[in-house]
Amino acid sequence: MNEQERNLRWYNLAMMAFVSVWGFGNVVNNFANQGLTVVVSWVLMIALYFVPYALMVGELGSVFRESKGGVSSWIKGTFGPTLAYFAGWTYWVVHIPYLAQKPQAALIALGWTVKQDGNFIKGMDPLIAQLLTLAVFLFFLWVASRGITSLKLIGTIAGTSVFVMSLLYVVLMLAAPAIRGIQPATTSFEFKNMMPEFNFSYFTTLSMLVFAVGGAEKISPYVNNMKNPSKSFPKGMIALAMMVAVSALLGSVAMAMMFDANNIPADLKMNGQYYAFQMLGEYYGVGKLFIIIYALANLLAQISALVFSIDAPLKVLLADGDRKFIPKALTKTNKYGAPINGYMMTAILVGILIIVPALGIGDMNSLFDWLLQLNSVVMPMRYLWVFLAFIGLKKAADKYKSDYKFVKNDKIAMTIGIWCFAFTAFACIMGMFPNSVEAFTGEWWFQVSLNVATPFILIGLGFILPVIAKRKNDMSNLEEASNISA
């Protein structure tokens, strides 16, 4: 790469990463989980987990600068093709719960766009609501299968609008007491009220924090486009951490000013983002303007994310996967270039995950909260592969050279990698225990069973494809041998 191509500055990288990693939902969901104690949780999470995670990603991106498969390529370089396949499989399969929730989120946004309230699916029978959710998913699966890509541009514009409005919310809410004379809903912001109790209930909320700060591996390829990456990349990541910290802390304080941290609405995860803009419009005398703009932008962003997440992760799995592990039939494409059998596999898995929970979870608010919590358990599983790749990199440190090193001492670097791996695994396991319903009731056990079974089933399915691929490859080899002998 010549010097002209190394044109990214540290502040360019920091802003790109911030837009990619951060969202207003991260603030709302974690405030709903922890209340005011989330302030201290954010500080600990960013300092002890997010900063080292982001810096590790930079070193992996620098070492494997020519790779195109992301995490699976890192694992292939450090542990070989078999684990690389499972890394690729994990990256794809963790999107199944994500795809099961996106139609829900789109329907909620639609309700707020049209009626400016959160009752569109909230009061529905869960099975009816989930059948409607399934219909929405299947429609946009069909849209994706037609190779329609224009939604990505619409989604980018809408997503940027949501992001800008989220920052605007924080600024206007913090200024509301001075400008509009609003009295904060939470009356005490003393440090003792921000200090969490490190008990079992608290540990069940960690996976949501990990889920919020994950995804930094998306920016790993850009380390090679930087001037002087050994200095610029860590500077950019520290700037990213500071922006995330400021956004998280001020956003949490803004939420506490609007909602009583000691009396959080039960449906805050489902409707909190919309309540925030609805009330902000009332504070500033603009009526429904804020909520309509935010709901419409979020609706388009959710639809775009749904279509993109159906298509992109699957194509990464099938395009970069070793043919020893992936059956050829899955790579079959239609005239639009969509892997149609892969889409069928996606439809079956997502359909099951949409319908089955509705049979045992009593209302849509609980169902939404459960699916969000399941995402916080399953999505961070892909980060485990990032830390495993980094550990493998440090084990064979003499073999690899890079323009940038996270920590010069390889043993210290490996220890930090092991810490991040262990913490992520711990957070995923603890996240399997719901804190949103009364413990040890029938619904609690049903949710725990689903939370435990779903990751094992999704990852376990990855063991089936190599068996099928081997059988098909053996049959093809026999047919070729027969044709040659004949």
Q: Do 10 and 226 form a contact (C-beta atoms < 8 A)?
A: yes
Beta-carbon count within 10 A of 479 CB: 10
Cβ contacts of 149 within 8 Å, gap of 6 or more: none
Q: Give the other-Cβ count within 10 Å of 7's Cβ.
A: 10
- Note down pLDDT in tens along the chain; length 486 residues: 444 456 788 888 888 888 878 899 999 999 999 999 999 999 999 999 999 998 998 888 888 877 766 788 899 999 998 999 999 899 999 999 999 999 999 999 999 999 999 888 888 999 999 999 999 999 999 998 987 666 777 888 898 899 999 999 999 999 999 999 999 999 899 999 999 999 999 999 999 999 999 888 877 777 777 877 878 888 888 889 999 999 999 999 999 999 999 999 999 999 999 999 999 999 999 999 999 999 999 999 999 889 888 988 888 788 766 778 888 888 888 988 888 999 999 999 999 999 999 999 888 999 999 999 999 999 999 999 999 999 999 998 888 877 788 888 999 999 999 999 999 999 999 999 998 788 888 889 999 999 999 999 999 999 998 988 888 777 766 666 666 665
- Give how far the C-alpha of residue 420 lies from the chain's centroid of Cα atoms, to the nearest Å: 17
Q: Which of 89, 147, 102 is nearest to 313 (CA)?
A: 89
Q: List the beta strands (DSSP E) in 163-223.
A: none
Give the three-class secondary structure for 436: coil
Identity of the amino acid at 355: I
Phi, psi of 237 (to 5 degrees): -70, -35
pLDDT score, position 477? 66
Q: Which of 260, 239, 213, 200 lies closest to 440, judged by CA?
A: 200
Domain 3-475 belongs in CATH node 1.20.1740.10: yes
As a whole number of angstroms, the distance between CA 375 and CA 98 comes to: 6
CA distance 110 to 118: 10
Both tokens of residue 219?
């920016």
Residue type at position 377: V
Number of alpha carbons in the 13 Å side-chain half-sphere of residue 426: 11
Amino acid 469: pLDDT: 87
pLDDT, position 426: 98
Q: What share of the chain is helix, strand, coil (3-state, %, to 5)?
A: 75, 0, 20
